[in-house]
Structure 1
Amino acid sequence: MQHYNNTNNSIPYRATPENVAISAVLGLCFGLGIPGNLAVLVVVGQRLKNGNFTLKVMFSLAISDLLTLLSLPLWIKALLHGWIFGLVLCKMISYLVYWGIYSSVLGVTLLSVHRYLQVLYSRKWSKLGRKGELMLLIGVWILSGVLSSYSLFQRQVTFQDRDKLLHCDMKYKDDGERVRILVLETVSLFVVPFSILAFSYFTLNRKVSHMVLFRSKRMTKLVARIVLVFFLLWIPVHINNVLMIAAALRKSDRLLSFTKILAGLFGALTFINSCVNPFLYAFSAQVLRRQTPMGEST
């Protein structure tokens, strides 16, 4: 660490334009997302006693969003002035962010699958019971914690020549390790969830259109909005991951440098997702207000 400090102090640094732009986006996400998700916890939390599983998943998503958003002041500080918080905090904060990201992905996937099963196979879902639903939610958080654990090992504090700053960033031993981690992220955060979501949504949409379930359609549309916004904001990240994999396999330093810059810009979009959901809930507040003790009447 002493080597880093000496290097950082001996060379004047200036935040790059992209870092300034990313910091502005992250600051906006923090200002909107924190109070928005806290409001979701309060409003939705008051209705959890009704036993509505959709609301329970939304409550869990709000916690996931807060887990990622609460760290934003540290990342903004690091983008503008470098990472000055040490290696341990670098690893722990990164792990919490990744944990929140994975729990969000799995939570949105569970939200869509639940809607599919509850509407089309309600009797089978009802057999699960409240304990079974609770175990599903706990399982999502445990699995998310396991899947994100690699960040504890991959995150390191390194000095970057591009902006002359220390950064808490992913550090790979070689291109092979880079490819393995990126493939893991792409498959677990996009390919598998998107396949499940696409099947659930299109099948549900096709069958519900022939059913007289007007109230059910309202909640189905809310879930669809959450899913659609989620993947619109995440697709650029995974496209860039594929480009990074190609750069590593082709040993292209120019393409790799370009994708690293895009990674920061596209990564900011994922934080936007964390502050958008509360507004989706507010936009569909009528749906949430009309929830009944039976859970899925809307």
Structure 2
Amino acid sequence: LGGNYFCGWINFDTISGAIVIPIFIFSLIGNILLVCLPFIYEKMKNATNLFILNLACSDLVFTFTLPFWAVYYLHHWVFGDFLFKLVTAANFLGLYSSIILLTATTVDRFITVVLNTWPGSQLKRERCAIAACAAAWVISIGASVSDAVKVQVEIYWDNRSSCEAISDSSDVNLGYYLQVSLLFLLPFAIIVFCFSAILKTVLQASNRKRYRTIVVMFCINVAFLVCWGPYNILLFIRAFYKPRGCYAEERMFIAHSIFRILAFSHCCMNPLLYMLSQKLRRHLLQLLRCQNAQKKSTDRRVGQNTSVIQNVAFIAQNSAVILELPSK
């Protein structure tokens, strides 16, 4: 996860730590808004809103791990072994739950648009969405705990701590890559199949009202694959290819650092992409207008109170002058 490799004068760990900090800030603000807006303006029983809420929660779980990684890349791991396992579990929990929830959302769109069987039973769709979200979290928690058990903190002679896998045996690596295959490649294949059928159906239909929703979901899935795809592909390459020589190791580390930052940036992508939805943009504008209205109302009341105080002071001053006038 770290290594402090240099390319010329560039320290990629330092750059990674510096970039992770703004990613954390943008992701925290965006996903909190994405959680709050459906609660304020929408019914949470809606299946689409349930998926949006769970995806935002998944991104928030991942987001909360970013400050720890920033400290690690800028300095070294100073939080101990237990917290490293906890942060690792949360990191993989955010990754696995995101891909499973995106797959469930895509399948939901596939059934709605292509098979056209949900509209007759909205309650059934909502119950299936709840079950899919619950299953996504259960599977993700189990897989992330399995990953967290396999890592530990190593302390070197200069008292610097590094995060390492407990074992590099072929059995451990085989289990890990099998898990990644089931929780990344299989969902990827399902998403590609479903969206191919969805796009074909939408392009052939005369009614294009659902077109914008499909575009939003398509962009969200593409963003996930673009951000996490190169990182996971590189992990597979590293399983079968061992770089020889300092130059090859440095190039591998540079690629790993770049793809890692690209993967980390995904947690702030979903809020931006969901703003393509007119409904969510309208809710956000309503929220901002309410805040502006409250601020103006507060300023108006403060101004009125100030005017009253000034008038009272002026009247009191005039009264004092009148009382001081000598009587004839």
> What is the TM-score when the length of structure 1 is the normalising length?
0.82
Distance 1:168 1:213, change over 3 A: farther
Q: Deviations over 1:188-247 (max 9, x none)?
A: 343101100100001110111111332211111110010111101111112201211212
Distance in 2 (CA, whole Å) between partners of 1:59 and 1:44 is 8
How many angstroms does 1:158 deviate by?
2.1
Letter of the structure 1 residue corresponding to residue 177 of structure 2 = L
Asked if residue 80 in structure 1 is aligned to residue 64 in structure 2, the reply is no
1:96 to 76, 87, 90: 90
Residue 106 of structure 2: aligned partner: 112
Report the Cα offset of residue 145 of structure 1.
Answer: 0.9
Identity, % of aligned positions: 23
Instruction: Please give the per-residue CA displacement for 1:140-190, whole angstroms capped at 9, x wherever unaligned.
Output: 1111111222222111112579x98422343324244224313421x1343
Residue 190 of structure 1 is aligned with which of 171, 184, 188? 184
Kindly provide the amino acid, as one letter, of the partner of residue 210 in structure 1.
Answer: Q
In structure 1, the partner of 2:134 is 138
Contact 1:94 1:151 in 2 (8 A): yes
Deviations 1:47-88 (A, max 9, x none): 441633122111111101010111211111111111011100
Cα distance in 2 for partners of 1:168, 1:20 equals 16
Distance 2:91 2:57 in 1: 12
Quote the residue 2:13 is aligned against.
19
Deviates more, 1:15-24 or 1:59-68: 15-24
Among candidates 258, 274, 278, match of residue 281 of structure 1: 274
Contact 1:94 1:152 survives alignment (8 Å): yes
Q: Distance in 2 between matches of 1:19 and 1:160?
A: 18
Total equivalences in the alignment:
273
Q: Distance in 1 between matches of 2:254 and 2:166?
A: 15
Partner residue, 2:325: none
Aligned to 2:295: none
Q: Deviation at 1:129?
A: 4.0
For structure 2, the residue ranges without an aligned partner over 5 or more in a row are 284-328
Name the CA shift for 1:214/1:166 in 2 (closer, same or farther; >3 Å).
same
1:231 to 225, 228, 245: 225
Look up the match of 1:174: 169
Moved more, 264-273 or 97-106: 264-273
Q: CA RMSD in A?
A: 2.7
Could you tell me how far apart the structure 1 residues matched to 2:113 and 2:4 are?
A: 55
The equivalent residue for 2:197 is 203
Hey, what's the Cα distance between the residues in 1 that align with 2:63 and 2:77?
17
Contact 1:15-1:81 within 8 A present in 2 as well: no
Q: Is the 1:68–1:100 Cα contact (8 Å) retained in structure 2?
A: yes
Based on CA coordinates, which of the two structures has the bigger radius of gyration? 2
Structure-2 separation of matches of 1:15 and 1:165:
15
Cα distance, 1:47–1:168 mapped onto 2, change above 3 Å: farther
Shift in CA distance, 281/129, structure 1 to aligned 2, threshold 3 Å = closer
Q: Residue 215 of structure 2: SS of its match in structure 1? A: helix
Q: Which protein has greater RCO, CA pairs closer than 8 Å, 6+ apart? A: 1
Quote the Cα distance in structure 2 between the aligned partners of 1:264 and 1:34: 22
Matched residue, 2:286: none
What TM-score results when the alignment is normalised by the length of structure 2?
0.75
